[in-house]
């Protein structure tokens, strides 16, 4: 590119029609002139060849992505991060933060085409720039308005449960895989009686021959209604319908007819676009689990920040987003957890809020630290072993969670509350005096041998 060519990929943001562009923040390491690298980066993700041979046309004004901000964070580093790429031959490696305005008319309101443009070949194969991270994405309201977003959202979910002033209490039924439907349903039933709002299938529990969804959803649906009658409280059975895309709507219909009143889908393995398809059909809340996001989001300077996927999960129509929570155990920084919670709850044009559920090795003792960190009741709390590995069984485990919440409301310490409640006392004895154990070995202790 000549210098006059570069300028076609730069713009003063005030000169652009903001409704015509999505905005993207990237971290970028490049060789050579950072301005040239940023121009190439825009060209590669939009119109790298902007005229036909023999023509004087220029496709850039309408179709070119534009650099609207470029900050060089560090210059003349001897090599790229993470041992990737050749050592710089001259001038070293420059670490930059680039903000780009990308015209969404290039691809339209389509998730697969959006992904192909902003984290596809153009982004990750820009010349001389092997290290890239898509840090954030922002949409104009007119673009957002072409998506349905959550059907229920935080407020709709609260209406379903008639719970307004506290977190929503989830539990992952464990053993997660291997139990027949009868035994599995019994565990769910006990957990509802103990005080869970939502008993859920594990994200790895599929529609298998040893636990068919048809049978499981009948038994859990029946147990759920029985628990509602006995407790006088509304309950949710969250059935995992993660499966091949062509089965999703059938499994939705089957599970809902049998009494499942929310559905779990592993967002990335199934695909966000398939979720958007299911959203058009769904009659119950859709809840996302997070497999297959960490492989591209964990490293600080490479890949795609998980908040981008939280926003896209909300846009695709999830009412709830389960995500890695605080603490060393989940290999996720506090800032990243907070960014994902914010991506669920912050205003997003016409798109409803979805409920964030930051999870990982939770039990009664991790509730207050989590609540204190979030500073809102608009979250879900999702123990697994903390309910289903409790020595008094899931009813006792669920009770210990509710007792921990009551202590918060009553201004009591966990120990004060435990002195009054045997379930909480047993939880503390089992799951550790430490509120959030720091040692990997202790938190990882499988519950198989606890009984």
Choosing from 329, 353, 402, 436, the residue that interacts with its own copies (CB under 8 A) is: 329
Rounded to an integer, what distance in angstroms lies between the CA atom of residue 257 and that of residue 261?
9
Closest contact distance (angstroms) between CB of 388 and its own copies is 7
Q: Are strands 66-77 and 93-103 parallel, antiparallel or unpaired?
A: antiparallel
> Is residue 192 left, alpha or beta, with left meaning phi > 0 and alpha meaning psi from -120 to 50?
alpha
Structure-token pair, residue 116: 């192909």
Instruction: Using CB under 8 A, pick the residue from 72, 391, 425, 435 that binds its own copies.
Output: 391
Q: Which stretch binds its own copies (CB under 8 A): 16-24, 228-236, 322-330, 406-414?
A: 322-330
Among 84, 214, 346, 434, which residue sits at the site for its own copies (rule: CB under 8 A)?
84
Asked if 148 is part of the footprint of its own copies (rule: CB under 8 A), the reply reads: no
Q: Is 243 in the site for its own copies (CB under 8 A)?
A: yes
> ∠ at Cα 299 (297, 302), nearest 5°?
80
Examine residue 324 and tell whether it contacts its own copies (CB under 8 A). yes
How far apart are alpha carbons 40 and 82 in whole angstroms?
22
Nearer to its own copies, 51 or 415 (CB): 51
Question: By CB under 8 A, is residue 67 in contact with its own copies?
Answer: no
Strand partners, 62: none
Nearer Cβ to its own copies, position 83 or 232?
Answer: 83
Q: Given candidates 236, 304, 345, 414, which one binds its own copies under the rule CB under 8 A?
A: 304
Place of tokens 């992904």: 115
Work out how close the CB of 299 gets to its own copies at its nearest, in angstroms, rounded to a whole number. Answer: 5
Task: Read off the tokens for 311.
Answer: 């926003």
Stretch that binds its own copies, among 334-342, 372-380, 392-400, 412-420 (CB under 8 A): 392-400
Note whether 390 binds its own copies by CB under 8 A.
yes
Q: Does 143 bind its own copies (CB under 8 A)?
A: no
Q: How far is it, in rounded angstroms, from Cα 51 to Cα 162?
A: 59
Q: Is 142 in the site for its own copies (CB under 8 A)?
A: no
76 touches its own copies by CB under 8 A: no
* Segment interacting with its own copies, rule: CB under 8 A, options 16-24, 153-161, 169-177, 336-344: 169-177
C-alpha to C-alpha distance for 150 and 349, rounded to whole angstroms: 13
Q: Shortest Cβ distance from residue 297 to its own copies (Å)?
A: 8
What are the structure tokens assigned to 310, written together?
A: 């939280």
Structure tokens at 234: 């509304």
The separation between CA 40 and the C-alpha centre of its own chain, rounded to angstroms, equals 31
CA distance 386 to 401: 8
Query: Which residue is listed with tokens 């210990």?
Result: 400
Q: How many residues bind its own copies (CB under 8 A)?
A: 124
Considering only residues 24, 27, 130, 198, which one is a binding residue for its own copies as defined by CB under 8 A? 130
Q: Which is nearer to its own copies, 7 or 376 (CB)?
A: 7
For residue 446, count CB atoms less than 10 angstroms from its CB and return exposed for 0-12, middle for 13-18, buried for 19 or more.
exposed
* Residues 6 or more apart in contact with residue 263 via CB below 8 angstroms: 238, 239, 240, 241, 252, 255, 256, 278, 282, 284, 285, 286, 287
Query: Which range touches its own copies (CB under 8 A), out of 10-18, 92-100, 206-214, 220-228?
Result: 206-214
Which residues make Cβ contacts (< 8 Å) with residue 220, sequence separation at least 6?
181, 184, 185, 188, 199, 237, 239, 259, 260
If one asks whether residue 421 binds its own copies (CB under 8 A), the answer comes out as no
Span near its own copies by CB under 8 A; candidates 15-23, 220-228, 243-251, 415-423: 243-251
Residue among 322, 245, 330, 253 nearest 290 (CA): 322
User: Which residue among 73, 419, 434, 444 contacts its own copies (CB under 8 A)?
Assistant: 444
Q: Does 283 bind its own copies (CB under 8 A)?
A: no
Give 2 or 15: the residue with its C-beta nearer to its own copies: 2
Q: Does 306 bind its own copies (CB under 8 A)?
A: no
Q: Smallest gap, in angstroms, from Cβ of residue 86 to its own copies?
A: 6
Residue closer to its own copies (CB basis): 10 or 124: 124
Q: Does 107 bind its own copies (CB under 8 A)?
A: yes
Strands lying side by side in the sheet with 380-381: 355-359, 320-324, 286-289, 262-266, 236-240, 198-200, 168-172, 380-381
The reply to whether 216 sits near its own copies by the rule CB under 8 A is no
Cα 15-18-23 angle, rounded to 5 deg: 105
Binding-site member from 23, 24, 31, 137 for its own copies (CB under 8 A): 31
Residue 290 sits in the site that holds its own copies (CB under 8 A)? yes
């Amino acid at each position: 590119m000549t210098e006059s060519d570069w300028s076609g990929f730069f713009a003063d943001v005030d000169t652009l029609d903001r409704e015509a562009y999505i905005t993207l923040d990237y971290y970028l390491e490049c060789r050579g002139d950072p301005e040239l690298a940023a121009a190439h980066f825009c060209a590669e993700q939009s119109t790298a060849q902007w005229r036909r041979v023999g023509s004087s046309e220029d496709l850039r004004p309408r179709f070119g992505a534009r650099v609207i901000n470029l900050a060089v964070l560090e210059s003349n580093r001897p090599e790229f991060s993470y041992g990737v790429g050749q050592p710089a031959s001259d001038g070293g490696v420059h670490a930059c933060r680039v903000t780009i305005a990308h015209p969404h008319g290039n691809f339209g309101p389509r998730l697969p085409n959006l992904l192909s443009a902003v984290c596809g070949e153009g982004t990750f194969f820009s010349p001389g720039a092997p290290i890239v991270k898509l840090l954030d994405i922002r949409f104009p309201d007119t673009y957002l308005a072409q998506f349905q977003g959550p059907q229920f959202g935080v407020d709709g979910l609260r209406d379903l449960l008639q719970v307004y002033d506290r977190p929503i209490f989830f539990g992952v039924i464990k053993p997660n895989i291997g139990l027949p439907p009868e035994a599995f349903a019994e565990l769910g039933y006990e957990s509802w009686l103990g005080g869970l709002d939502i008993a859920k299938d594990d994200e790895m529990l599929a529609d298998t021959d040893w636990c068919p969804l048809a049978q499981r959803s009948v038994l859990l649906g029946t147990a759920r209604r029985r628990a509602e009658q006995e407790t006088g409280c509304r309950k949710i059975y969250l059935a995992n319908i993660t499966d091949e895309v062509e089965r999703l709507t059938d499994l939705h219909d089957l599970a809902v007819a049998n009494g499942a009143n929310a559905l779990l889908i592993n967002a990335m393995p199934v695909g966000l676009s398939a979720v958007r398809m299911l959203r058009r059909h769904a009659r119950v809340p859709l809840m996302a689990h997070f497999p297959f996001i960490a492989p591209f989001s964990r490293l600080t300077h490479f890949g795609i920040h998980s908040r981008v996927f939280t926003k896209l999960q909300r846009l695709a129509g999830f009412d709830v987003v389960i995500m890695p929570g605080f603490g060393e155990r989940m290999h996720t920084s506090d800032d990243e957890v907070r960014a994902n919670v914010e991506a669920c709850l912050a205003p997003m044009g016409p798109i409803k809020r979805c409920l964030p559920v930051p999870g990982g090795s939770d039990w009664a003792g991790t509730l207050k630290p989590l609540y204190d960190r979030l500073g809102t009741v608009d979250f879900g709390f999702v123990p697994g072993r903390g309910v289903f590995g409790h020595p008094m069984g899931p009813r006792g485990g669920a009770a210990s969670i509710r007792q921990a919440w009551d202590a918060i409301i009553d201004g009591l310490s966990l120990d004060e509350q435990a002195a009054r409640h045997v379930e909480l006392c047993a939880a503390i004895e089992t799951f550790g005096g430490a509120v959030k154990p720091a040692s990997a070995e202790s938190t990882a202790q499988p519950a198989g041998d606890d009984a």
